[in-house]
Amino acid sequence: MKYVYPAIFTEENEQYLVSIPDLAGCHTFGDSLSEAIEMARDAMAMWLCTAEDRKEEIPPVSMNVKTDGGFVSYIDVDTIEYRRQTDSKAVKKTLSIPSWLNTQAELSGINFSNVLQNALIKELNIR
């Protein structure tokens, strides 16, 4: 899923502190502005992936965020891409196919895991 949320950036002690007000407890920092943006994207992705996994309601986006000092910038996150980059552990699945198809695939040297992954990516329209 793709999300966009406002982030509040505040410079303090040569670091940028970042708060995502719509995502309770979602805070981070960076030693430079570019690092702070990267860390904000990472913190948001972790927060949102956890909420998705727990089937929790995703908070709506605030459009008029005010700040006392600092500035507000919108940060985008793609949780599907984030999962692809960070969660590559294998998950074992049991499935059933006709015996004749299994025999033919084995004789052809088919990698069942690879075929299933490619089929799921295509079925889910994941790029």
pLDDT in tens, the chain (127 residues): 999 999 999 999 999 999 999 999 999 999 999 999 999 999 999 999 999 999 999 999 998 898 888 999 999 999 999 998 888 788 888 999 999 999 999 999 999 999 999 999 899 988 7
pLDDT (0 to 100) of residue 22: 97
Residue ranges covered by each domain of the chain: 2-86, 90-127
Stated as kind and residue range, the H or E segment containing 59 is none
What pairs with residue 12 in β-bridges? Answer: 15
Please give the model's pTM, rounded to 2 decimal places. Answer: 0.73
Q: Give the residue from 76, 35, 45 showing the smallest Cα distance to 18.
A: 35
Helices marked H in 5-111: 33-53, 79-86, 99-107
Among the four given CATH numbers 3.40.50.300, 3.90.180.10, 3.30.160.250, 3.20.20.100, the one describing domain 2-86? 3.30.160.250
Q: Give the residue from 12, 16, 1, 13 showing the smallest Cα distance to 73.
A: 16
**For residues 82 and 49, is the Cβ–Cβ distance under 8 A?**
yes
